[in-house]
Amino acid sequence: MSDTRYTKEHEWIRMDGDIATIGITEYAQSQLGDIVFVEIPDNGKSVSKGREAAVVESVKAASEVYAPVSGTVTEGNAVLADAPDTVNSDPDGDGWFFKMTLSDPSELDELMDQAAYDSYLKEIDG
Amino acid sequence: MPDTVSTDALHATPLDALHRTLGAKMVPFAGYSMPVQYPLGVLKEHLHTRAAAGLFDVSHMGQADLVGEDIAAAVEELVPGDIQSLKAGRIRYTQLLNEEGGIIDDLMIAKPVDDDPNRLHLVVNAACKDKDYAVFEAHLKGRGSLERKSQHALLALQGPKAAKVLALLDPQCATMPFMSLRPASIAGTDVVVSRCGYTGEDGFEISVPAVSATKLAETLLEHADVEPIGLGARDSLRLEAGLCLYGHDIDVTTSPVEADLVWSIGKRRRLEGGFPGDARLLIELHEGPSRVRVGLKPIGRAPAREGTVIETVEGDGVGIITSGGFGPTVEAPIAMGYVEKTYAQPGTRLHLIVRGKVLEADVTSMPFVPQRYYRGSK
């Protein structure tokens, strides 16, 4: 299963076996502008759905990135330490933030699928 | 993600329609709808200004004249700058002070080119305009008056190519000294050109009648070296230049001595006093202030923002960051803030508490990027 789910806070989550990869959406990166620093959680850190898991800093401001589901961090994207602007150039791919295992996979069902996220974007952009 | 804020009841500058045509992202700022960035983005806008020339709309700032007999002496009762010695066509940076020596606003005061002893030009911060005008009007009651230039826009052209670009429209602009002003005719419009700005670069501010502002901006933007630049890059440029932002790095609780603005206090004024809070300032000048504004360079890539607590390496709180972010030209995080005098020496290692974690930083001299003001032809 490789379909992507989305939060209202513009994080995406994609499952590969038992491991989820988390990033922020194209919409989120375009709103943030030039990204200069990303703080990713340490391996082994427990994160809770809807709570702060990472921080992304643009030239101007810091913004929180929330965990879309609960679980344990298994890997942070080391590329972002030297090249945080990868989030601007490839938010859905190489600009991922961290990988995690899920403590309650049913939480995925509460997130938006692609079609629901697309209509959500249309709604908030008026 | 950023909130969407209602733009109801915001003032628009005379360039509002042009900003929208150019694709600016507009945000509320000091009661105005202002461009925070254009499609180029903050980082590239910043770097473009350092490499070529950036055009900024600063029409939200307050432009006014003070008129009255011997107006310079009257104004010196409110500011620590040496205003009486200002020569015709020269500009001075100073601060409007309260009785405690705190800064009500920082501002530019200029002497008209015709050397009229009864008139001074002012440029004040947008958010402080009404407050400043009330202070001047109350003080001058019976001695003079304040004339708002509300029908004027203000454009800033900043960067190493600014003089070359402006000289194509008026050759005399090329050799104007830093901190001078003169009337000029540009693109068929009568304007007042000042050689100053707030980016650390050589550059100009052009006061232009509102009706002609868009035409002038379009004329400048026609040049390949000129890009429109928003408030986002203006903020990172002034931070790299080590310049204070009112309401952040300076406010009614900080004195010009604490803010490291001693250079702007006239020598005669330091001896004579005669401005609000002079007792406090003269003591601080003599003994050194207990806290002082310094530059800070965090080690690593993480920026430390306004409000970050500054501690010693032993963990004692010694200050707070008042402006901080990423410096696109220095390619590293930079910040400024206030620390106790003991920790103000460049090279002092301090700790910044960012999201509960210690971020190491060194006190550093400012500016972070060398200023490139025009000091005359070599």
pLDDT tens, B195-217?
Answer: 999 999 999 999 999 999 999 99
Cut 0.90: pTM above it: yes
- Distance, in Å, from the CA atom of B248 to the CA atom of B261, rounded to the nearest integer, reads 15
CA distance B30 to chain A (A): 17
Predicted local confidence at residue B3, as pLDDT: 44
Q: Where are the strands (E) in chain B, listed by range?
A: 11-12, 25-29, 32-37, 53-57, 62-68, 91-97, 103-110, 119-124, 144-148, 152-158, 181-186, 189-194, 203-209, 226-228, 291-298, 309-311, 317-327, 332-340, 349-354, 357-364
Half-sphere exposure for A17 (CA within 13 Å, toward CB): 3
Beta pairing partners, B56: B156
Predicted local confidence at residue B270, as pLDDT: 95
CB contact under 8 A, B302 and A37: yes
Residue type at B366 in one-letter notation = M
Mean pLDDT of chain A: 94
Own/partner pairs, B72-76, CB within 8 angstroms, 24+ separation: B72/B111, B72/B117, B72/B120, B74/B139, B74/B140, B74/B143, B74/B144, B75/B109, B75/B120, B75/B136, B76/B269, B76/B274, B76/B275
> Chain A contacts of B299, Cβ < 8 Å?
none
Residue type at A28 in one-letter notation = A
Among B201, B180, B183, which residue's Cα sits nearest to residue B92?
B180
Predicted local confidence at residue B2, as pLDDT: 43
Predicted local confidence at residue A1, as pLDDT: 38
Are the CB atoms for B170 and B193 separated by under 8 Å?
A: yes
Answer whether B35 touches A (CB < 8 Å): no
C-alpha dihedral, B77 to B79 to B85 to B89, nearest 10°: -120
Predicted local confidence at residue B375, as pLDDT: 82
Predicted local confidence at residue B131, as pLDDT: 97
Q: DSSP assignment, residue B90? A: B
Predicted local confidence at residue B351, as pLDDT: 98
Residue B8 pLDDT > 90: no
State pLDDT tens for residues B101-146.
999 999 999 999 999 999 999 999 999 999 999 999 999 999 999 9
Residue A22 pLDDT > 60: yes
Among B362, B346, B375, B355, which residue's Cα sits nearest to residue B297?
B362
Percent of chain B's residues with pLDDT above 90: 96
> Chain B contacts of A57, Cβ < 8 Å?
302-303, 326
State pLDDT tens for residues A82-109.
999 999 999 999 999 999 999 999 999 9
- Give the three-class secondary structure for B237: helix
Predicted local confidence at residue B377, as pLDDT: 61
CA distance B176 to chain A (A): 34
Residue B4 pLDDT > 50: no
**Mean pLDDT of the B234-250 span:** 98
**Mean pLDDT of the A47-76 span:** 95
Selected residue of A34, A35, A65, A124 to mutate for chain B interface (largest B Cβ count, 10 A): A34
**Mean pLDDT of the B275-289 span:** 96
